[in-house]
Chain A
């Protein structure tokens, strides 16, 4: 770990891994590049949904049960109520991405605050917070999620908060472990010696060094948040006013025997998006932990 000179305003330590080298390693991984491009495409489609399909995706626009390819106006067919499957897919991307990213951001923030506090201060605070993490981790998270969403009435905001509430312990554990090993390092002692406050040491000195594993885990958390949202909407616990990939599968399930394309198509959208996020997570892991990837 390189220690740079102690300029009064600069952080005491440079990032542990060269950002550029990590980026180059990431870009050398073809799967990661394809996954990134795919996710960019999905994001663009989600942003442009009102332009591509201006009308409400929940409205009836076609004859019910059009199979994909049957009518070129509705390339992916229509469901039992004559709703355009392609429009549902495009609008569903919005919900998946918004909930996935927002839940990740909230969960990671809570996880960092709790984990950093526990790991940095140690002692009684640590004991209490570890107990709290344990309580959350002992309850099966999907069960907890169902209870939370049912209690709060299913809406995009409440689903996001509920997913964040069941994911933060993972990040908190990780951050706590990083902080425990980093707080004894020379650069932290140096920062203390310079009289920096706790908040500054935690967020400006230690946190940047703990970031690589947090970044890797974050991409996996977006993936699992999307999976959780889809499972919730499949079970009828999604936002009833928004179409989502999970709710499309839930509605298509009734016609599984005859119109299985209604279940197949949104599922493929979920799998590809989640797969792309997991591929990116893997590639980030390799790029940010060069030691591990060399062992491969």
Chain B
């Protein structure tokens, strides 16, 4: 990379970061205020669960959690914590929020990663097949299938996959992240983990298979009408070679860069899919902390997921700026 080029990329990076800081701050403040509107707090939920609680006991809990302070003071305390890179403490789980999240994050990221890989691989394959048979029956059949994928609720297809592959066929586990008490190690452990991931990742991926197949179809048709593709065909290259080496290469860039945009959506979908498969991830943690009014955890998860989305967008900006020197200022 030349000196000039890296300086250009640095400028793009600086611009993105400068834009991201107020967005993140806005998100934190907005989420914080939003959660204050919720009826009930962690002390109420804990009192409700224990069945008996005195006014003094509740007041003590609130003082302990720091939720008896005035709103602005709580917000300042939270922002102060953030400035020291701390997400606060979860009274319910009895550990720092950062630690709690970092325990759950890897399994969610793995699930999302596999889902994204499945979505891109299947979506691009289907989309290319559609474009190559545009207007004929394979195109129509696949486009109906992809529209069905687009219309299926992820949690429902998840349950139906469990019925078929776990209950009826007994091929794959119906939930969890690994065989409990299996005592597996090495390759067996990896295979076991993978087996547990197939169904949830597929449920999560189907919706995006639909999106990517349609995007690929459009992108391939667009590129196929370019002059250099006609040239490649005219010089006698086989249709397959033209498709793979000349069309797909150029059509895939817009498709794969879009994958980053869907990160937020996939994360949201993970909340539901993790519920179906009792997957110990971030989505499940978010849902539990909503129900328990454990707002420190919830704020942490919300902030982290926003940061993930921003990070993905930044990487895409950089990738595009690197590939296309004309992009500099939006």
A, B in one complex: yes
B298 touches A147 (CB 8 A): yes
Say yes or no: B167 contacts A257, CB within 8 Å: yes
B265 & A263 in contact (Cβ 8 Å cutoff)? no
A157 at the interface (CB under 8 A from B): no
A207 at the interface (CB under 8 A from B): no
Q: Of all chain B residues, which has the CB nearest A273?
A: B151
Q: Write out the residue numbers on chain B whose beta carbons fall within 8 Å of the beta carbon of A260.
A: 159-160, 163, 167
Q: Would B298 and A135 count as touching, CB distance under 8 A?
A: no
Q: Which of B268, B276, B309 contacts A138 (CB 8 A)?
A: B309
- How far is A150 from B286 in the complex, measured between Cα atoms in Å? 12
Q: How many of A's residues come within 8 Å of B, CB to CB?
A: 46
CB of B159 within 8 A of CB of A253, answer yes
B265 touches A140 (CB 8 A): yes
The residue that A151 contacts in the complex, of B38, B163, B265, with Cβ under 8 A, is B38
The reply to whether A138 and B310 contact each other, CB–CB distance below 8 Å, is yes
Q: Which residue of A lies closest to B310 (CB)?
A: A138
A256 and B167 form a contact (CB under 8 A)? yes
Q: Does A143 contact B301, Cβ atoms closer than 8 Å?
A: yes
Q: Are A249 and B271 in contact (CB under 8 A)?
A: no
Whether A235 and B275, one on each chain, are in contact in the complex, defined by CB atoms closer than 8 angstroms, is yes
Contact B306 A138 (CB under 8 A): yes
Residue of B nearest to A266 (CB): B156
Contact check, A131 vs B151: say whether CB atoms are below 8 A apart. no
Q: Is there a chain A Cβ closer than 8 Å to B256's Cβ?
A: no
Which of B22-30, B81-89, B243-251 contacts the other chain?
Answer: B22-30
Distance A246 CA – B265 CA, assembled complex (angstroms): 19
Which secondary structure characterizes the binding site on chain B? helix
Name the distance in Å between A265's Cβ and chain B's nearest Cβ. Answer: 11
Which of chain B's residues have a CB closer than 8 A to the CB of A137? Answer: 264
Closest to A153 in B: B39
B287 interface residue per 8 A CB criterion: yes
CB of A41 closer than 8 Å to a CB of B: no
Within 8 A of A (CB), among B11-42: 22-23, 26-27, 30-31, 34-35, 37-39
Instruction: Choose one: A151, A223, A253, A277; the contact of B34 (CB below 8 Å).
Output: A151
**Stretch of A68-76, A109-117, A184-192, A226-234 at the chain-chain interface:** A226-234
Contact with B along A232-263 (1 / 0, CB 8 A): 00110000000000100100010011001001
- A17-42 contacts to B (CB < 8 Å): 31
Measured in the bound complex, the distance between the Cα atoms of B327 and A28 in whole Å is 42
Complex formed: what's the CA distance from A270 to B30 in Å? 33
Shortest Cβ gap from B39 to chain A (Å): 7
Name which residue of chain B comes closest to A142, CB basis: B268
Give the complex CA separation of A267 and B283 in angstroms. Answer: 22
Q: Which of B33-61 contact A (CB under 8 A)?
A: 34-35, 37-39
The distance in angstroms between the C-alpha atoms of A146 and B282, with both chains bound, is 14
Q: Which of A141, A144, A270 contacts B153 (CB 8 A)?
A: A270
Structural contact, B290 and A147, CB atoms closer than 8 A: yes
Cβ distance A8 to chain B, nearest Cβ, rounded Å: 41
A279 CA / B22 CA spacing, docked (Å): 40
- Let me know if A214 is at the binding interface, CB within 8 A: no
Selected contact of A131 from candidates B26, B134, B135, B305, CB within 8 Å: B26
Bound Cα distance from A267 to B22, whole angstroms: 42
Asked whether A275 is an interface residue with its Cβ less than 8 Å from the other chain, the reply is yes
Binding site for A on B (CB under 8 A): 22-23, 26-27, 30-31, 34-35, 37-39, 134-135, 144, 147-148, 150-156, 159-160, 162-163, 167, 221, 264-265, 267-269, 271-272, 275-276, 283, 286-287, 290-291, 298, 301-302, 305-306, 309-310
Other contacts beyond A153-B39, A264-B160: 4, CB < 8 A: A135-B23, A142-B269, A231-B153, A267-B153
What 10 A-B pairs are tightest by C-beta distance, nearest first?
A142-B268, A267-B156, A140-B268, A274-B151, A275-B151, A151-B38, A140-B264, A150-B290, A140-B267, A260-B163
